[in-house]
Amino acid sequence: MKEAGLKLLSFPPDSPPLSIISAAKIAGIDLPIQTSSSASSPTLSFSNGLKLHGNYVILRYIGRLAPIPNFYGDNAFHAAQIDEWLEYTPTISCGSEFENACGYMEVYLEKRTFFVSHYFSIADIAIWSGLAGTGQRWESIRKSNKYPNLVRWYNSISAEYSNPLMEVTALYVGKKGLGKPVAAKSKEVKNVTGDSSDKAKAGSRSSSEIDLPDAEMGKVRLRFAPEPSGFLHIGHAKAALLNQYFAQRYHGEVILRFDDTNPTKESNEFVENLIKDVETLGIKYQKITYTSDYFSKLMALAEKLIKEGKAYVDDTPREQMQKERMDGIESKCRSNSVEENLKLWKEMIAGSERGLQCCLRGKLDMQDPNKSLRDPVYYRCNPVPHHRIGSKYKIYPTYDFACPFVDAEEGITHALRSSEYHDRNAQYHRIQEDMGMRKVHIYEFSRLNMVYTLLSKRKLLWFVQNGKVDGWDDPRFPTVQGIVRRGLKIEALIQFILEQGASKNLNLMEWDKLWTLNKKIIDPVCPRHTAVIEERRLLLTLTNGPDKPFVRIIPRHKKYDGAGEKATTYTKRIWLDYADAECISVDEEVTLMDWGNAIVKEIIKDQDGNITQLVGVLHLEGSVKTTKLKLTWLAETNELVNLSLVEFDYLITKKKLEEGEDFLDALNPCTKKEIAAIGDSNMHNLKQGEILQLERKGYYRCDVPFTRPSKPVVLFAIPDGRQQSVMK
């Protein structure tokens, strides 16, 4: 019944039904939405005139409609249990009852993965939405970990359904809870809101909720326009996600456009990978376009401007031209006749020797204090074949000339640009005016800068071409593919960027904050495994240990059933890390994790004082609460897996390069370290991209899974926001 009747969900502007919207998103149900100041509760209207009223009435309907197994129970009893939880959910939003409700659910979830039976249902959505809807109050509790079972459940739901839930909270949940304009939790988000003078026509929303000037609900069209000269990096990701955020806010659309005006730097490989990166970010674009689609129109427009005396051909050498622009000196070619300009323009089009000496410039104002208006270049010659259209053209428009035209031509209502382009905004609108095109609103946001990080594609290309990294997806790179390969979950990146909002304040952001967000997402759900460092590993012989090895099946994550199970082998002789052995004293009682206590009776050393082996006895009746050392270990078997644990460091040694400072002077000489280790036999089954925690060692992402015993499984260390690198 996806389209067979569903027409519109309407609700009061200050009371969005988070659970209904979330359930529909997760279920893939297309649910048109409209706020209505006259509505007292959510109403679901059908094309035949029928209506359903009330939050949980509609949620139950979505539960029955959704193509998700057991979404509203697999039998009458479970459906009734779900109803019980739906009736309980309003308690969460009652101020005085909030803590009591959290405490009750904490106990209830102690041995449960979901609220009803063994599957995800609308009961989970209702309670998740109730907690998320309290805003900062719940976030404070999450950080305190006062209710670990409840937080574990909440985080697992957030991780499993990250894209739809992040999308909904971004639109409807603010610091103070439901109904606020933005999801961001940082004070900077206040800067997202447009000045009160920017009266937007957005249905029944109040003006305080409007971010874009003169935005009309359902009529906003945005574009994300990367140049296909590299892979998408974290700075581009901010622009892409903000475009999507505003498109969702105003029920508009985003176009993915490739600004392919420089064939020297661009390639189909970059186009393909940019599309992949945009889709990885979850950007829902309406269509893909290329600036090269408009080359013929742009050439015709350039010729029209020449004939109108608004553009001229200039053969001044580039360095001299730059100096004249800085000094406000008019070019000798500025007074050329239209006929002379058209003659030289044809030479440029032909790519002749004479044409290659020339460029086309706009005739704006050489005395303007804003230097971007001092006759900018519109067209340059370039004989290099274009990656899409081959050698059809010998001239190509500059970004400054093409972008204002294509934005207006494609019906873009708001062009999002980083504040580094601020001085060129006047140029953008002046060129549109000279072209006779519709004016497009410009909305500025601050560029995302990260410590110890280069975002210039030219500088990143240097690392690739000089073999300093393994490619554009290298885990040391700030590209989307690079940071994902290192172990970052996209939902953490989305949350990180949305928390900054569309602030115009320039900030140098710490990676630690991003990795801390990432840890909160992966920790509740990623499986636990064990590894021992290869170098100097040694055996602990348990004299009363099992004569025959035995195996137990235990959870891969003690608090998340969804992580599955693993087989742990128990033997008389077990491997320990040398670093752990150094901390043990004779007759000390230690805890062997996932087994029990043992008492170390003998520490055997060689003539140089190095420990060579340990001897002890199992003391399983001992209390783990009384031991100082909790040790990870591996059974001595031939089923262990060879591992290569890889640590990475920043590519440069300075937090921020000052203007004019050469990045080559700040190169980090050691950015990668590999450590050989052995891992438990279950790691034979790790899949590429799987994230895990090595107990007491940290989080890792499997980059190369098991293929044969002679080739190690390669695990990339994932920063957790506080852990010091082993490379320091």
User: Would 487 be classed as within a structural domain?
Assistant: yes
* pLDDT for the residue 195: 32
User: Would 298 be classed as within a structural domain?
Assistant: yes
Could you tell me if 117 and 154 lie in one domain? yes
Could you tell me if 274 and 361 lie in one domain? no
CB-based contact 516:721 (threshold 8 Å): yes
Q: What is the DSSP string of 203-243?
A: TT--GGG--STT-BTTT-EEEE---SSS--BHHHHHHHHHH
User: Would 418 be classed as within a structural domain?
Assistant: no
From CA 480, how far away is CA 11, in angstroms rounded?
Answer: 37
Could you tell me if 136 and 247 lie in one domain? no
User: Would 387 be classed as within a structural domain?
Assistant: yes
Q: What is the DSSP string of 409-437?
A: HTT-SEEEEEGGGGGGHHHHHHHHHHHTP
Q: Is 227 a catalytic residue?
A: yes
CATH number at residue 322: 3.90.800.10
- Those residues whose C-beta lies under 8 Å from the C-beta of residue 143, and which sit 6 or more positions away, are none
391 by DSSP, 3-state: which? coil
From CA 435, how far away is CA 405, in angstroms rounded?
Answer: 8
Instruction: Please provide the distance, in angstroms rounded to a whole number, between the alpha carbons at the two ends of the chain.
Output: 59
From CA 551, how far away is CA 570, in angstroms rounded?
Answer: 6
CB-based contact 565:557 (threshold 8 Å): no
Q: Which of 632, 540, 501 is nearest to 186 (CA)?
A: 501
The two beta strands, 538-542 and 611-618, are parallel
Pick the catalytic residue: 223, 374, 424, 457? 457
- How open is the CA angle 690-675-706, to the nearest 5 degrees? 40
Could you tell me if 656 and 676 lie in one domain? yes
Q: Which residue has the tokens 């055997």?
A: 604
293 φψ region: left (φ > 0), alpha (ψ -120 to 50), beta (else): alpha
In DSSP terms, 618 is beta-bridged to 598
Could you tell me if 37 and 130 lie in one domain? yes
Number of neighbours of residue 607 by Cβ within 10 angstroms: 5
337 by DSSP, 3-state: which? coil
From CA 645, how far away is CA 704, in angstroms rounded?
Answer: 11
Radius of gyration of the chain, Cα coordinates, nearest whole angstrom: 31
Q: Which of 381, 399, 417 is the last residue of a domain?
A: 399
In DSSP terms, 570 is beta-bridged to 550
From CA 19, how far away is CA 66, in angstroms rounded?
Answer: 14
Domain of 621?
538-576+578-631
Q: Which of 156, 172, 188 is the last residue of a domain?
A: 172
Q: What is the DSSP letter of 265?
A: T
CATH number at residue 271: 3.40.50.620
Q: Is the pTM of this model over 0.85?
A: no
Pick the catalytic residue: 167, 209, 227, 266? 227
Of all residues in the chain, what percent are helix, strand and coil, respectively (each to 5)? 35, 20, 40
Averaged in consecutive runs of 10 residues, what is the pLDDT profile of the chain (728 residues)? 62 86 90 77 86 90 89 91 91 78 90 88 94 85 84 88 83 58 33 31 34 85 95 92 88 95 95 94 93 97 97 96 96 96 97 96 95 96 95 96 97 92 92 96 89 93 94 96 95 84 73 93 94 97 96 93 93 97 96 97 95 97 94 97 97 90 94 97 96 97 95 96 56
- Those residues whose C-beta lies under 8 Å from the C-beta of residue 233, and which sit 6 or more positions away, are 455, 457, 460, 477, 478, 479, 480
User: Would 183 be classed as within a structural domain?
Assistant: no
Pick the catalytic residue: 346, 380, 447, 573? 447
Could you tell me if 490 and 617 lie in one domain? no
CB-based contact 244:277 (threshold 8 Å): no
166 by DSSP, 3-state: which? helix
Number of neighbours of residue 171 by Cβ within 10 angstroms: 17
Could you tell me if 286 and 297 lie in one domain? no
From CA 478, how far away is CA 455, in angstroms rounded?
Answer: 7
Could you tell me if 583 and 625 lie in one domain? yes
Number of domains in the chain: 5
Q: Which of 340, 367, 399 is the last residue of a domain?
A: 399
Q: Is 457 a catalytic residue?
A: yes
Contacts for 512-518 with beta carbons within 8 Å, 24 or more apart? 512/719, 512/721, 512/722, 513/721, 514/488, 514/721, 515/488, 515/718, 515/719, 515/720, 515/721, 516/720, 516/721, 516/722, 517/492, 517/721, 518/487, 518/488, 518/489, 518/492, 518/718, 518/720, 518/721
* pLDDT for the residue 506: 67
* pLDDT for the residue 196: 30
User: Would 420 be classed as within a structural domain?
Assistant: no
CATH number at residue 615: 2.40.240.10
Could you tell me if 131 and 259 lie in one domain? no
Could you tell me if 281 and 308 lie in one domain? no
Could you tell me if 702 and 558 lie in one domain? no
Length of the chain, in residues: 728
Q: Is 673 a catalytic residue?
A: no
Could you tell me if 303 and 393 lie in one domain? yes
Tokens standing for residue 187: 């004070």
User: Would 443 be classed as within a structural domain?
Assistant: no
From CA 326, how far away is CA 372, in angstroms rounded?
Answer: 10
User: Would 258 be classed as within a structural domain?
Assistant: yes
